[in-house]
Structure 1
């Protein structure tokens, strides 16, 4: 099962609203469960370099079924995933990418956000996921 275009559009709209609230410009990518780009938005004045980062954050989150920030903690020198960012044509292992899981607990895609401090990237991605109504599942270990 894949994230629908309607879900992707809603996630991007909610993420954009959060970015505006934070006073920042973002690139926002939504990928389906196979890591293929479903929807994308580059807000006015968002960094061009953030386009690739947002897409790779979304891809990283869906490939491994966890937030990119969590992968980052595991990929530090000496960690069990050290060097993982060099796989899969490049991954991003800092916050801003979150899986999108449906009400049945099935991962249907992911969102990736880039363009600000990683704390803002994560908050904007979280806003995108929360609007789909799946964030409240208690088994999500990445809830903040």
Structure 2
């Protein structure tokens, strides 16, 4: 049974390496100077404003890193901050209209690539892959599964 976990480790290592390359490409499509992790931050903000501390916890990165990345996104006019209605001392980071426009543009292009790459797959297989990846990601949500960078 150990071979199954060795196979999983090998495939995840390849997947992570390729995912970093894809993330870097997507960030560059938003803006040539963005760090690879910036696109994931922008995509996470599509669902609405979030506190910087929530984002840091979600991505399992340190506060200094999230602060630096959010500052870069603010400088580009892709995100801004507004007071948190639940706690006036805190701020929510949210996408600007320009940020939303750029994320949507990159998302559409990436979607088209996935459709092309997975054209030979049965839609049920694609759904199962998405379900299993979601389940795997839940294991690592909120700070588990890796160190802070």
**TM above 0.5:** no
Name the structure with the higher helix share. 2
Name the structure with the higher strand share. 1
TM-score (norm 2): 0.31
TM-score (norm 1): 0.32
Structure with greater contact order relative to length (CA < 8 Å, sep ≥ 6): 1
Answer with 1 or 2: which has the greater Rg.
2
